Chains A and B, each alone.
Chain A
Amino acid sequence: MKHLIARLEPVIWALFGGGFFVGCLLMPAFIFMLCIAAPLGWLPEGALSYERAHALAANPIGRLALFVLIVLPFWNGANHLRHFVIDLRGIRSDGVVAPACYAAALVVTGIAAVAVGKL
């Protein structure tokens, strides 16, 4: 497992960098509008009604954006969590933490693909 993860490091670091970009560029605006402004009623009437939100999300660009918005930040978080735990607990914890983080990221990637496909 250790050698497999070492071989996959370039892919994992590419996903990590992509996750930083997506998370930093897009997440703040999405979180503010979707998770703060919409529930508090700060948006115009009907701006995020079900029909409009579904139409935005279900077209190919919307599906791709949502898939990227879920998957890349999760890979970023998984890799960052691995290294955060190494900083705190030492390299010995990596034998358990790295496979757990990347397995979780793989599972979330699969679930996101199915969920976005069902839109």
Chain B
Amino acid sequence: MARLADPRAMSPSRPGRTRTAPPVMPPLFPARGRYRSYMLFGACCVFFLLSSLLFLRVVDALAAGPEAWDDLLRQFRHPLYLAYNVAALAGFVFTARRFFFQLFAKSQPPRIGPLPRPPLAVLPPLLGAAWVAATALIFCILWGAFP
């Protein structure tokens, strides 16, 4: 059975005479130029982690009964919770914009399973339409439009 590749496998047993320069971070890293939005995109992972835990709390309150549910909604009215949720909403919208409209199309292989990839120009509008449809459906369900 083949073993996993070791990136140091091809290195010489003794260092050669020619020394390579030590790696240096680019001068604009981490907060200037294109690195700024890259690092912001990375930092938004905190919202993914914390909001998942928040939804775990929502499920726990639903399982615990009406008092726990009302208590949770009361806690969500606290300015700190509201500030976090507004910031998380902005973070998710920023991530969605970057993922759907900048990254997704570029990362698709020429064939997706047995099917050829749709034209790259079509993917962002398709994803945008899916986002609008999913958001509208959730709004209608939680608004009480459906019984």
Contacts and interface: CB of A to CB of B under 8 A. Distances in A.
**Do A and B associate with each other?**
yes
Given A24-B100, A25-B131, A80-B48, A66 B76 contact: no
Nearest to B85: A35
B142 A24 contact: no
B69 to A, nearest CB: 4
Interface residues of B, number: 52
A31 B142 contact: no
A23 B92 contact: yes
Given A19-B48, A31-B92, A77-B46, A39 B82 contact: yes
B54 to A, nearest CB: 7
7 interchain residue pairs of minimum CB distance: A77-B48, A80-B45, A24-B96, A39-B76, A77-B49, A47-B144, A29-B138
Interface of A: 3, 6-7, 19-20, 23-36, 38-40, 43-44, 46-48, 50-54, 56-58, 66, 69-71, 73-74, 76-78, 80-81, 83-84, 87-88, 108, 111-112, 115-116, 118-119
Interface of B: 4, 30, 39, 42-49, 51-56, 58-60, 62-63, 65-66, 69-70, 73-74, 76-77, 81-82, 85-86, 88-89, 92-93, 95-96, 99-100, 130-131, 134-135, 138-139, 141-144
